[in-house]
Amino acid sequence: MISNQLKILENIILARYTTLNLGGAAKYFCTCSTVDELKEALQFARSKKIRSHILGGGSNTIFADDGFNGLIIKIDLKGVSFVEDGNDIHVTAKAGEEWDHFVKQNVEQGFAGVECLSGIPGSVGASPIQNVGAYGQEVKETIEQVKVLDRTTLQEKVLQNGDCGFSYRQSIFKTDDANKFIIVEAIFRLKKNGRPTIHYPEVKKNIEASIPLSTLGDGRESLEAVRNIVLGLRKKKSMAIDPSDVNTRSAGSFFLNPIVDEKQLAKIIHQWEANGDGTPIPTFASESKIKIPAAWLIEKSGFKKGYSKNGVGISENHTLALVNRSGTTKALLALAKDIQDGVGKQFGIRLAMEPVIVS
Ligand SMILES: Cc1cc2nc3c(=O)[nH]c(=O)nc-3n(C[C@H](O)[C@H](O)[C@H](O)COP(=O)(O)OP(=O)(O)OC[C@H]3O[C@@H](n4cnc5c(N)ncnc54)[C@H](O)[C@@H]3O)c2cc1C
């Protein structure tokens, strides 16, 4: 222990703080449950002239095998509060709240807006970082404000939704202002006694199998029905953490779905028509552009579910999830590169990685 106030530990193995279960030791490690502790941690790193890295639930983080030669700051700020506002409810959640617990709490009270995001691992504080999304919802639709601590000035600041630059798995926290802020809380605007979002075909199909959509009511019961369907789909795809299922030892989707314009798509189609098996490339509208499912591109480049190499591989239940069976970060990143190179050769595009790599 180095500091008297904040407990700063030394030489802490990071693997157990990530869902991939990978990573060597951090030189220093602390857990902060207040903003004052965060400031103290940042000052400690400054005084030692070392880097600091913010860690939530570790479900989108890849630490190097040789660890991190700085201070890992684990976020543990807790608390959720509710303020009614007509038909809406403002829900303020501290950054260290577990995301799925937060979703469950809201669903149980009949508050709509995050039900399709059930089962996503990690913390509330990380949810704005990549604008988490699944099954037809993204947090950008319900986040009103994000309260941050500036890592340099140590001043707190409130960012409005429009300041956060949200788009598909992106925000200013990953781009222009990467590593500038620590998110200390997020405020969501949800609908009281609200109606669940049922846009996603798999969710719609499953709901319709048990109840005609026209008779689906508002509020808790319907929101719980959607939550349960999403949790079931996630379980089937090993996309909800389950210690007994090695396929969940992942960082979720490892690659982003490429978003291209008409000209890029034409080039990709041209290359596929020359080299491919004749099946059409699936595409989806994404605002003014076109989204291509990365999973399809990976499979058509010869990488199948269950593929395994050097203790790492592709989940048996989801092509987009790379899993750690008994491997290393080095092996995982080598596999990611093999896949990127394979897709590049087959389609002429480079897949971007989703998780944050910390070395
Ligand atoms: C099985 C599985 C399924 C998944 N499914 C989905 C999915 O459907 N949709 C989706 O979008 N994602 C999904 N993910 C990815 C992941 O769960 C989300 O990105 C999640 O929001 C990460 O939260 P975390 O707290 O674990 O973040 P971490 O991995 O701890 O951190 C991720 C990044 O956020 C930063 N960060 C974390 N907390 C803060 C903070 N308070 N302030 C500033 N920076 C911070 C970290 O520095 C890092 O850069 C999945 C992951 C797994 C393992």
Q: Which of 33-37, 72-76, 216-220 has the lowest mean pLDDT?
A: 216-220
Q: Cα(240) to centroid of ligand 1, in Å?
A: 13
Considering 59, 222, 250, 253, which one is annotated as catalytic?
A: 253
pLDDT in tens, 119-176: 999 999 999 999 999 999 999 999 999 999 999 999 999 999 999 999 999 999 999 9
- Report DSSP letters for 206-275, one per residue: HHHHHS-GGG--SSHHHHHHHHHHHHHHHHHTT-S--TT-GGGSEEEE-BPPPEE-HHHHHHHHHHHHHH
pLDDT above 80 (res 3): no
* One-character DSSP codes across 103-128: HHHHHHTT-BSSGGGTT--SBTTTTT
Q: Three-state SS for 149?
A: strand
Residue whose token pair is 């605002």: 287
Mutation pick for ligand 1 pocket among 31, 32, 59 (CB with most ligand atoms within 8 Å): 59
Q: Which atom of ligand 1 is nearest to the CA of 61?
A: 29
Band of residue 287 on the pLDDT scale cut at 50, 70, 90: confident
Q: What is the pLDDT of residues 97-110, one digit of tens each?
A: 999 999 999 999 99
- Inform me whether the pLDDT recorded for 70 exceeds 90: yes
Gap between the Cα atoms of 358 and 353, Å rounded: 13
pLDDT for residue 237 = 97
Phi, psi (degrees; rounded to nearest 5) at 317: -120, 0
The string of pLDDT tens digits covering residues 54-64 is 999 999 999 99
Percent of the chain beyond pLDDT 90?
Answer: 94
pLDDT, position 2:
47
Q: Which atom of ligand 1 is nearest to the CA of 184?
A: 41
Instruction: Please tell me the least confidently modeled range out of 1-15, 133-147, 325-339.
Output: 1-15
Nearest-10 crossing angle of helices 99-108, 220-236:
150
CA 136 – CA 115 distance, rounded (Å): 10
Distance separating alpha carbons of residues 218 and 195, to the nearest angstrom: 5
Q: Ligand 1 in contact with 222 (CB < 6 A)?
A: no
Check if 185 is active-site: no
Which of the pair, 212 or 343, is modelled with greater confidence?
343
- 169 catalytic? Reply is yes
Cα 114 to ligand 1 centre (Å): 16
Return the percent helix, strand and coil in the chain, to nearest 5: 30, 30, 40
pLDDT at 206: 94
- Pick the residue whose CA is nearest to atom 2 on ligand 1: 252
User: Is the distance from the beta carbon of residue 75 to the nearest atom of ligand 1 less than 6 Å?
Assistant: yes
pLDDT 10s digits, 193-244? 999 999 999 999 999 998 888 888 899 999 999 999 999 999 999 999 999 9
Measured CA to CA, the distance from residue 323 to residue 252 in angstroms comes to 9
Res. 10 pLDDT band, cuts 50 70 90: very high
| Domain annotation for the chain: domains and CATH numbers | 8-75 (3.30.43.10), 80-236 (3.30.465.10), 246-358 (3.90.78.10)
Residue 51 annotated among the catalytic residues of the structure: no
The residue whose C-alpha atom lies closest to atom 10 belonging to ligand 1 is: 132
Mean pLDDT of the chain: 96
pLDDT band at 28; cut points 50, 70, 90: very high
HSE at residue 137, side-chain half, CA atoms within 13 A, is 24
112-116, 209-213, 308-312, 353-357: least confidently modelled range: 209-213
Check: CB of residue 19 under 8 Å from CB of residue 57.
yes
Ligand 1, atom nearest to 123 Cα: 25
| C-beta 136 within 6 A of ligand 1 | no
- What is the whole-number distance in angstroms between the Cα of residue 280 and the centre of ligand 1? 33
> Is pLDDT above 80 for 18?
yes
